Structure 1
Amino acid sequence: MSARPLEGVRVLEVAMYGFVPSGGAVLGEWGAQVIKIEHAVTGDPQRGLTQIGKMKVDPAGPNPNIWHSNRGKRSVGLDIANPLGREILLELAKQADVYLTNHLPKVRKKLRVDVEDIRAVNPKIIYARGSALGPRGLESDRGGFDMTAFWSRGSTAQSLTPAGLEGIINPPGPAYGDTISGTNLAGGIAAALFSRERTGEPSIVDVSLLGSGVWSMGHGVALSKFVDMPIEAVMPGQHGAPTNPLSGLYRTADGRYISLVMLQPARFWADVCRHVERPDLIDDPRFATAELIGQHTEEGVALLREAFGKRTLAEWTERLATLSGPWAPVQDSLQVSYDPQVRANEYIIDAGEMELVANPVQFDVTAPAAAPAPDFAAQTEEVLLELGYDWEKIIELKEAGAIT
């Protein structure tokens, strides 16, 4: 079986920023051919993003802010507001299996690239839309970003912010909600392709940042609705499990943290005590049963904090290799890139001039192959030649402002 199940699928992506293009990137890693349409003059605005917080990249060099969501695509610079440019778009749509866009409804209608317009030239095309707030409701025509629709409105931000903390917890990194939502979109498109193969009928696929944000909080939202109370975040430094010392964070001697999640504390208590060099606690009557462990959680936490504080994370990583219960080092976005388990599974892959995180789905125990993101409009002439345009016509289109 091929490790690239979407080989031969053609995707026409008319989108910008991170959300929808990241969906196109996933489809590309699954084997699809993705043509990215960018405005003939300005291109994808994401190309101008060269600084996030303290992290800067050289504007003249490869930019992770564009490569993450645009790996392996071909870029065509096209002004689809120009009648000649729109004609080219429709020619590309005739050959595509998927039309992928994040244009707002009013823009799609103004440019005449809505579902009925694209299906007029290709009745079997799958029309996939990424939006901020979904295709229905009073706010369906509003735009948004992952910070607004996914993180804030979708309930993660407030659920993560402890009461009494000034302000609201920010997303942990750029395009956090975009990337999750883009993967959802790719999955929906794959299902639509499967359905079309079975029934012959194309689908309209919709994924929104808001819907993805609510889905990401789905377990918590269902629980909150059922018991009629919101999630209350724990202040950092507090032990979050009131009846279980083996579910929480412990600081190491070098200021790092270890995360324990052992939901059956009585089962793992003795093993943890041996690994943290406190065998005397194994037969301590305070921790003889799950019920007693729960009653003496505060004392257990204090004892484990003292024990874990005596060694560095590196030392604990070696010692805890044989621990039977679930645990993990707490890592930042740089540390995770050196994690041997991440590397063993090729969750970070070589894309040429930089490394990129692979999409999380693997087929036949094979990591996807990563390719560089295209330079702006780099394949415009190549794609037009494939469509049958000659050089004389291409020059005319450039002079008319229809292409880059």
Structure 2
Amino acid sequence: MPFPRASQALSRFTVLDLTRVRSGPTCVRQLADWGANVVKIDALLEDGGGEQPGGPRSGSDFQNLHRNKRAMTLNLKDPRGLEVFKRLAEQADVVVENFRPDVKAKLGIDYESIRKINPRIVYGSISGFGQDGPYHKRPGFDQIAQGMGGLMSVTGAPGQGPMRVGIPVADLTAGLFCALGILTALLERDVSGEGQWVQTSLLQAQIFMLDFQAARWLMEKEVAKQAGNNHPTSIPTGVFKTSDGYINIATTGGRIWERCAQAIGAPELVADPDYATAPARSKNRDALNAKINTLTEKKSTETWVQELNAAGVPCGPIYSIDQMFEDAQVKHLGMAQHVPNDENRHIQLVSQPVTLSRTPSRMAARPPEFGEQTEELLAEFGFDKDEIADLRQRKVV
């Protein structure tokens, strides 16, 4: 029975997945979810150990990162394992790895080595700080990149010290940017006939994500500071207390501010010279927020969401994660999807946030067990039964 593909969009591409932990698997998940033939290569050590970083294979994190893939084992530290990998790479379209830059060269699986046997290969690399430069040998971790990339300096309440973002944003964005680079390189290959090396790092991804905050420094030499829940330019925008929780209210421009003031029952604030203009609201932000809070505390979150939206004022509740998945719009968007499996296990994972009208993505297959499809995959790449048996006996696979 052929392996089910998650989509037809990328079904013509074969990807060799050497990634571990989060940033690399995030990249490859994008390719797998759109139907690429992904071969996850599980590291087979000389002692046969199957433990890898990134949490237990049966855990929710691993399951969410590795759906729609097949897996085989391979000992890349054995010269025969390297020969096997090169035979796979000859037929593949993409290789993705997130080793430290020096590690892949020692193994003999770096870009220059692979392109010699397959000039069409698109080789994606994610590192902590880049493939060269003064920090290139340092191990990279998400929180380190958040700190060095400037994000922690603008996150959190003023005066409370640097604060990490609650998600591994550097890991995730580096993975997404690498996937985007790989797809760009595949498109270019259709013209040139040649592959290329796609490189990104946690540090680069994090700096890019600063966006207008970084541009403000480059263009205007303005250093952004912590602002807590306050938006740096649209005022009033932030978190306000209700009778039973909290709500986000966002105002952009004078007209929405006027509608907001009317909706909360304080039309007089519009004419107040302390709040009449954007510069005045910025200068008196704390006082304005306090006045709004005294009014929002009088009604429930649900009531304010209905009334403010009806008035054309952007707003929304602040959910815990379980509440978020119960929201009617989230359910309509199908952001939680069940994964089919023969074991009748309950596997529900986060779906892709993008839809395509003709070639949609779906949860086609559960994440593979350690080396689950080794024989199947080797056979597809042209290894015969005797070769596979010999590789097994020699503990190469």
Say yes or no: TM over 0.5: yes
Mapped contact 1:269–1:282 kept (Cα < 8 A): no
Task: Please report how far the alpha carbon of residue 330 of structure 1 lies from its aligned counterpart in structure 2 after TM superposition.
Answer: 2.2
Q: 2:356 aligns with which of 352, 363, 372?
A: 363
Q: 1:269 to 1:214 in 2, by over 3 A?
A: closer
**Residue equivalent to 2:3:** none
Answer yes or no: is 1:186 the counterpart of 2:179: yes
- Count how many residue pairs are aligned between Structure 1 and Structure 2: 381
Task: Tell me the alpha carbon deviations over residues 2-33 of structure 1, each in whole angstroms, 9 at most, x when there is no partner.
Answer: 96421211101112111111100001112211
Letter in 2 for 1:374: P
Task: Tell me the alpha carbon deviations over residues 248-287 of structure 1, each in whole angstroms, 9 at most, x when there is no partner.
Answer: 22111123x22222121x31244324433x1x62686327
Q: 1:271 to 1:105 in 2, by over 3 A?
A: closer
Task: Please report how far the alpha carbon of residue 75 of structure 1 lies from its aligned counterpart in structure 2 after TM superposition.
Answer: 0.9
Letter in 1 for 2:373: Q
Query: Counterparts of 1:141 and 1:161 in 2: how far apart (Å)?
Result: 31
Answer yes or no: is 1:251 the counterpart of 2:238: no
Q: 1:377 aligns with which of 354, 371, 374?
A: 371
**Residue equivalent to 1:54:** none
Q: 1:133 to 1:314 in 2, by over 3 A?
A: same
Task: Please report how far the alpha carbon of residue 163 of structure 1 lies from its aligned counterpart in structure 2 after TM superposition.
Answer: 4.6
Mapped contact 1:3–1:363 kept (Cα < 8 A): no
Q: 2:19 aligns with which of 15, 18, 31?
A: 15
Query: Counterparts of 1:35 and 1:214 in 2: how far apart (Å)?
Result: 31
Q: 1:216 aligns with which of 209, 222, 242?
A: 209
TM-score by length of 2: 0.87
Query: Counterparts of 1:283 and 1:365 in 2: how far apart (Å)?
Result: 51
Counterpart mapping for 1:224-239 below 5 A: 224-235=217-228
Q: 1:365 to 1:385 in 2, by over 3 A?
A: closer
SS of aligned partner of 1:383: helix
Give the superposed CA RMSD.
2.7
**Residue equivalent to 1:45:** 52
Counterpart mapping for 1:327-338 below 5 A: 327-338=315-326
**Residue equivalent to 1:262:** 251
SS of aligned partner of 1:398: helix
Q: 1:312 aligns with which of 281, 300, 304?
A: 300
Structure 2: where are the runs of 5+ without partners? 1-5, 341-345
Answer yes or no: is 1:400 the counterpart of 2:394: yes
Task: Please report how far the alpha carbon of residue 205 of structure 1 lies from its aligned counterpart in structure 2 after TM superposition.
Answer: 0.4
Query: Counterparts of 2:279 and 2:149 in 1: how far apart (Å)?
Result: 38
Q: 1:269 to 1:338 in 2, by over 3 A?
A: same
**Residue equivalent to 1:55:** none
Mapped contact 2:155–2:165 kept (Cα < 8 A): no
Letter in 2 for 1:95: Q
Q: 1:281 aligns with which of 249, 262, 267?
A: 267
Letter in 1 for 2:28: G
Task: Please report how far the alpha carbon of residue 181 of structure 1 lies from its aligned counterpart in structure 2 after TM superposition.
Answer: 1.4
Answer yes or no: is 1:148 the counterpart of 2:144: yes
TM-score by length of 1: 0.85
Letter in 1 for 2:339: A
**Residue equivalent to 2:198:** 205
Task: Tell me the alpha carbon deviations over residues 74-122 of structure 1, each in whole angstroms, 9 at most, x when there is no partner.
Answer: 1111101112211211111111100111122322121111112212221
Q: 1:28 to 1:311 in 2, by over 3 A?
A: same
Task: Tell me the alpha carbon deviations over residues 128-169 of structure 1, each in whole angstroms, 9 at most, x when there is no partner.
Answer: 1111101231222222121212x1211111221445325x32
Structure 1: where are the runs of 5+ without partners? 51-58
Task: Please report how far the alpha carbon of residue 382 of structure 1 lies from its aligned counterpart in structure 2 after TM superposition.
Answer: 1.2
SS of aligned partner of 2:321: coil
Counterpart mapping for 1:74-113 below 5 A: 74-113=70-109
Identity %: 26
Task: Please report how far the alpha carbon of residue 349 of structure 1 lies from its aligned counterpart in structure 2 after TM superposition.
Answer: 2.6
Task: Please report how far the alpha carbon of residue 313 of structure 1 lies from its aligned counterpart in structure 2 after TM superposition.
Answer: 1.8
SS of aligned partner of 1:45: coil
Letter in 1 for 2:235: N
